[in-house]
């Protein structure tokens, strides 16, 4: 199959060739090829690099949790729209940011969240705050914009899960006199909670490796592994860039494996393929 050749030559080989650079050393700005663990040692022994790892994990965890908390009621609200026409428009609206470049969305959030932006304007005019809140060039701004980028990846698996709930089950529960909350608690929620795991499986790894949003909304103050990889590449420190890449790859792979285990254990592994 030519496809296998393409993936082998253009994916597997470049990555292996690239990982090889993690064993090189940088001496007075020159790359010295060889087999040393200096780059790994430098990475593990420097608090600055650990800060990058920590911020990466914190951002991914916060973004995934917010996406779950915001996404479940959102999916439920879309699902409860009865008219197919209205539902189609709402789905289209929720999906529409996906086809707009992340750069455009980052720009939109910079304008919205800036000192003189619409959000601070609204907050001050509503009397909620007295001065402008610092909403960009910090973790808050990066988190708000990253949630925006990744929310559809949480909502669509949840919508799929809600769609598969057999309406007859809810009707049966209602006929037997169960109040609405109880129907939700005993029928809808147990049958759809696995959608949250499926969504997290998409959102968490994507949040770990996000680059554009932390770079543009963080204003150089939100240091994650992806921004570190970019910076060290520009500085031609390829050994450290490679070790940081391997660290990021291990985090995303580890997260995917753990989340896969969780969804398997919940016994509902259907429909969880990556979209």
Size of the site for other proteins (CB under 8 A): 84
Q: How far is the CB of 107 from other proteins (least distance, A)?
A: 5
Q: Looking at 31-39, 46-54, 238-246, 261-269, which segment touches other proteins (CB under 8 A)?
A: 238-246
Per CB under 8 A, the segment of 29-37, 39-47, 109-117, 185-193 that binds other proteins is 109-117
Vertex 40: Cα angle to 46 and 222 (nearest 5): 45
- Between CA 64 and CA 206, with CA 118 as vertex, the angle to 5 degrees is 20
Tell me the closest approach of the beta carbon of residue 226 to other proteins, in angstroms.
5
Site for other proteins in 124-163 (CB under 8 A): 145, 148, 151, 156-157, 159-160, 163
User: d(Cα 211, Cα 229) in Å, to the nearest integer?
Assistant: 10
Alpha helix ranges (H) inside 114-183: 118-125, 139-163, 167-175, 180-183
Binding mask 213-232 for other proteins (x = CB under 8 A): --xx---------x--xx--
Find the binding residues for other proteins in span 245-264 (CB under 8 A): 245, 248-249, 252-253, 256
Near other proteins by CB under 8 A: residue from 33, 46, 51, 88: 88
Q: 3-state class of 228 per DSSP?
A: helix
Q: Pick the binder of other proteins from 61, 169, 191, 212 (CB under 8 A).
A: 212
Q: Does residue 4 bind other proteins (CB under 8 A)?
A: yes
- Choice between 101 and 172, CB closer to other proteins: 101
CB of residue 209 to other proteins, shortest distance in Å: 3
53, 63, 208, 240: which one contacts other proteins (CB under 8 A)? 208
Binding mask 38-77 for other proteins (x = CB under 8 A): --------------------------------x--xx-xx
Question: Hey, is 275 helix, strand or coil?
Answer: coil
User: Please, what's the b/e burial string for 122-134 (b: 16 or more CB within 10 A of its CB; e: otherwise)?
Assistant: ebeeeeeeeebee
Residues in contact with 124: Cβ distance below 8 Å, sequence separation at least 6, in sequence order:
130, 131, 132
Q: Which of 61, 90, 53 is nearest to 203 (CA)?
A: 61
Taking the mean position of all CA atoms in its chain, how far away is CA 109?
17
Give the whole-angstrom CA distance, residue 72 versus residue 14: 39
236 forms part of the interface with other proteins (CB under 8 A): no
Return the CA Rg of the chain: 23
Task: Select the residue interacting with other proteins from 32, 44, 100, 236 (CB under 8 A).
Answer: 100
Listed ranges 26-34, 45-53, 127-135, 212-220: which one lies at the site for other proteins (CB under 8 A): 212-220
């Amino acid at each position: 199959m030519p496809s296998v050749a393409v993936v082998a030559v253009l994916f597997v080989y470049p990555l292996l060739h690239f990982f090889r650079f993690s064993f090189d050393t940088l001496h007075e700005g020159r790359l010295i090829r060889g087999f040393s663990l200096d780059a790994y040692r430098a990475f593990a022994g420097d608090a600055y690099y650990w800060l990058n790892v920590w911020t990466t994990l914190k951002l991914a965890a916060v973004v995934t949790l917010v996406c779950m908390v915001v996404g479940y009621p959102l999916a439920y609200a879309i699902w409860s729209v009865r008219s197919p026409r209205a539902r189609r428009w709402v789905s289209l609206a929720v999906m529409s940011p996906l086809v707009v470049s992340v750069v455009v969305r980052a720009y939109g959030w910079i304008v919205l969240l800036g000192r003189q932006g619409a959000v601070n304007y609204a907050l001050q005019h509503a009397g909620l705050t007295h001065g402008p809140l610092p909403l960009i060039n910090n973790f808050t701004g990066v988190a708000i914009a990253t949630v925006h980028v990744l929310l559809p990846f949480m909502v669509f698996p949840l919508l799929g899960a809600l769609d598969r709930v057999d309406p007859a089950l809810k009707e049966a529960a209602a006929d037997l006199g169960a109040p609405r909350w109880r129907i939700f608690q005993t029928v809808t929620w147990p049958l759809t909670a696995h959608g949250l795991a499926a969504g997290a499986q998409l959102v968490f790894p994507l949040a770990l490796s996000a680059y554009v949003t932390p770079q543009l909304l963080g204003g150089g103050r939100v240091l994650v592994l992806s921004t570190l990889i970019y910076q060290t590449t520009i500085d031609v420190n390829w050994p450290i860039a490679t070790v940081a890449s391997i660290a990021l790859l291990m985090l995303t792979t580890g997260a995917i494996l753990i989340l896969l285990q969780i969804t398997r254990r919940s016994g509902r592994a259907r429909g969880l393929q990556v979209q």
